[in-house]
With several copies, the nearest count.
Chain A
Amino acid sequence: MTPLMTPATVSTVPGLNAPQPIPLSETKTLTMGKAINEGLRQAMLDDPRVVLLGEDIGALGGVFRVTSDLLAQFGARRVIDTPLAESAIIGTAVGLAYRGYRPVCEIQFDGFIFPGFDQIVSQVAKFHYRTQGAVRMPITIRVPFGGGIGAAEHHSESPEAYFTHTSGLRVIAVSNAQDAYSLIRQAIASDDPVLYFEPKRRYHVKGEVVPELGLSMEQAVIVRPGTDVTLLAYGALVTTARDAALAAFDEGISIEVIDLRSLSPVDYAVVEASVRKTGRLVVTHEAAQSGGLGGEIIATVTERCFSYLESAPVRVTGFDVPYPPAKLESCHLPDLDRILDGVDRVMGRR
């Protein structure tokens, strides 16, 4: 046995020796970003095999500060500031998982996941199948996603459908602080690889957080019950969808808003029950329409609930364009009015 070398990332930046934060032990109001931070901390406390990898996640705490203070608390052997290479971040996580670790990779922005795509699709997703269950890949890949923050190119994308089409992966998207906290813990605890999408324009939105594992990450949740239309959303658009439901209520339309939470697999039990009740379906997402998750859900719901449908399900989504420049994103992104327009269409009002 030899003494271990010091990893290259050990930082001597001032301020790193702050007192160790106490993990969340009671209900608190946190921003979504802070809730993920607390969830990561708890997961790391719970299991010494949890390690974090990513660019700038150490001293900086990530460009969104989601990993703030974790380097100080857990050290550079568990909070690993990596060289700038996404394929290697995922690929070394595979090797760590091989050795029994539970790596949590941070992809700095949605658009930067593609250099790591091969390792995700051909390795992370397939190892369990390839080895007939012998090798597990309990890897969590955190991806800040979506637009609405006026960012530059590649900083506002919604690549989730690439992963929901990839067998072997689980995909979730959170919409609020409580889920952010609970589901990051569940994702890390999962023996399957999980893509964990964080809607970046909600990072600063606050919510109550109970320090519990909460509802299973596989379950969809009715965030507002209704009887006329089922409206499916995830990530940042859950808030928009709820606002739309409120507005529609004033116009006499009762919308049931469902936060999908799990994008793969979709919780069709909840979705189908709702559509059987309402007979009308609207799905909304920021990603481009063609090949997006909306089409998949509509096809499946149509197959399973055909006779219950009063009208053709409708999608309110980003257009089939590369994510546009900041000054045009308000056109591209589904907003309250476009969602209501979609609701009007399933209601036969247009």
Chain B
Amino acid sequence: MIDFSPQLVQLLSIEGERIPRGDFDPWVEDLDGPALLALYRDMVVVRRIDTEATALQRQGELGLWPPLLGQEAAQIGSARALRRDDFIFPSYRENAVAYCRGVKLTDIVKVWRGNAQSGWDPYTVQMATPAIIIGAQTLHATGWALGAQRDDVDSVAITYFGDGATSEGDVNEAMVFAASFQAPVVFFCQNNQWAISEPVGVQAHRNIADRAPGFGIPSLRIDGNDVIAVTAATRIALDRARTGGGPTFIEAVTYRMGPHTTADDPTRYRDPAELAEWKTRDPLLRLHRLLTSLGEITPEVEAATAALADAAAAELRAGCIGMPDPEPLSVFDHVYATPNATLERQRADYAGYLTSFGAEHDSAEQNRKA
């Protein structure tokens, strides 16, 4: 029996020691040295990607970037627990999840470069593209889960959202619907302590995990910087959903070590001491310690991991910079699935306008932009 009480579940201490826990351990029995090393490798790579993307933004190659620094365990642990046919409805910060899903690095940054409103075809990776309206995607996940239920398959929907999102009506309505229909959906809340400048205390005076049970949804409160606990909790939730147990809520307690986005300046609202404190709880650090004690970390492993990360960063950079700009007339594409007379007329008018301008216009445009 799983203990669904609101105690924080930690299976890996800050010091890198494995903390045994009878109800969770069976779910992570397979996480031996090599398996943990694989998770570690993921975490190193996504952190490197994150740094590279931030650098690309600073260099003007991306318009914006929402760093996940500090949340690697929460994202990698949960994403690696999923089955291929499970479907992910993320917010905008789940770049590590997208990486696990096999989304091309260039496709991850496409939306932040401003080339498209989304970077990939959700159906090829079973993961929706970033959702910007806070909380809206939790309803989409619930609806998808209702579909899976009706299809008599045991695929599960998982949705990611933040601590701030829990205040939005949509997230609460999603819990109402999920509970009412016992939908196979996992609510995965990364409580990174901040919603832009607002500490989690503005959103909730109790632990976020305490909310779901009142809706009839069991919840787990886990150390989100502990990849083993995250893996266990996600597997438990997925299993419940697959076997008709309905929705589960997971609060992964973590920390946004960077700014909200590259446009943000946390020094305006955040005490540096807080960040320093959380640095000691770094998710990579403690896994590294465990792996070291397991003898998995060797100079070769370190080198290979770094090389992997560097290769990913290089791939990202090259792909980002090499991305062709969209064609002007593509602004009209895909508004509708079927032709729309009013829009087609606007397209034709604009095409005519561009043509009439010709080269002269192009240079005028360029001048204005310069």
Contacts and interface: CB of A to CB of B under 8 A. Distances in A.
B15 interface: no
B116 interface: yes
Contact of B173 (A77, A91, A94, A154): A91
A94 B132 CA distance: 15
A266 B343 CA distance: 11
B304 interface: no
Contacts of A182: none
A60 B341 contact: no
A84 B165 contact: yes
B264 to A, nearest CB: 8
Given A60-B268, A151-B63, A341-B353, A319 B140 contact: no
Contacts of B243: 2
Interface string A127-158: 01111111110100000000000111111000
B34 interface: no
B271 A191 contact: no
Interface residues of B, number: 99
A143 to B, nearest CB: 15
A164 B336 CA distance: 14
B268 A168 contact: no
A330 B134 contact: no
Contacts of B325: 327
A134 B122 contact: yes
A87 B177 CA distance: 11
Contacts of A191: 337-338
A332 B113 CA distance: 17
Contacts of B114: 150, 152, 325-327
A92 interface: yes
Contacts of A22: none
Interface stretch (A3-11, A230-238, A253-261): A3-11
Interface in B188-244: 195-198, 201-203, 205, 242-244
A155 B133 CA distance: 10
A82 B342 contact: no
Interface stretch (B47-55, B76-84, B326-334): B326-334
Interface stretch (B37-45, B151-159, B275-283): B151-159
Interface string A61-82: 1010000000000000110111
A266 B168 CA distance: 34
Contacts of A8: 180-182, 201-202, 205
Given A59-B269, A96-B147, A331-B328, A131 B343 contact: no
B136 A123 contact: yes
Contacts of B106: none
B254 interface: no
A325 B112 CA distance: 9
Given A60-B196, A88-B174, A321 B343 contact: yes
A335 B140 CA distance: 37
Interface in A208-235: 218
A252 B63 CA distance: 40
A111 interface: yes
Interface string A267-303: 1110000000000000000000110000000000000
Interface string A320-345: 11101111101110011110010000
Given A3-B244, A128-B335, A83 B342 contact: no
Given A56-B196, A326-B63, A321 B335 contact: yes
Nearest to B174: A88
A251 B121 CA distance: 49
A115 interface: yes
Given A96-B146, A327-B114, A4 B152 contact: yes
Contact of A167 (B176, B335, B337): B335
B334 A328 contact: no
B143 to A, nearest CB: 2
Contacts of A132: 116-118, 333-334
Nearest to B246: A5
Given A84-B195, A321-B335, A326-B63, A95 B132 contact: no
Nearest to B185: A95
B342 A99 contact: no
B338 A99 contact: no
B369 interface: yes
Contact of B268 (A61, A83, A338): A61
Interface residues of A, number: 101
A42 interface: no
A37 interface: no
Contacts of B347: 319
Contacts of B139: 87-88, 90-92, 94-95, 119
B350 A331 contact: yes
B331 A265 contact: no
Interface in B316-361: 325-326, 328-338, 340-343, 346-347, 350, 353, 356-357, 361
Interface in A1-54: 1-5, 7-9, 11, 13-15, 51
Contacts of A192: 336-338
Given A2-B243, A83-B202, A123-B140, A266 B342 contact: yes
Contact of A95 (B129, B143, B198, B340): B143
A313 interface: no
Contact of B142 (A14, A91, A153, A338): A91
B95 interface: no
B144 interface: yes
A253 B165 CA distance: 53
Interface string A99-119: 111010000000110110011
A55 interface: yes
Contact of B118 (A94, A123, A131, A168): A131
13 contacts: A59-B269, A84-B165, A91-B173, A95-B142, A98-B122, A98-B147, A126-B117, A131-B122, A151-B64, A167-B335, A325-B115, A328-B326, A350-B356
Interface of A: 1-5, 7-9, 11, 13-15, 51, 55-56, 58-61, 63, 77-78, 80-85, 87-88, 90-101, 103, 111-112, 114-115, 118-119, 122-123, 126, 128-136, 138, 150-155, 167-168, 170, 190-192, 218, 264-269, 289-290, 319-322, 324-328, 330-332, 335-338, 341, 350
Interface of B: 63-64, 87, 89, 92, 111-118, 121-123, 128-129, 132-134, 136, 138-154, 157, 164-165, 167-170, 173-174, 176-177, 180-182, 195-198, 201-203, 205, 242-244, 246, 263-264, 268-271, 325-326, 328-338, 340-343, 346-347, 350, 353, 356-357, 361, 364-365, 368-369
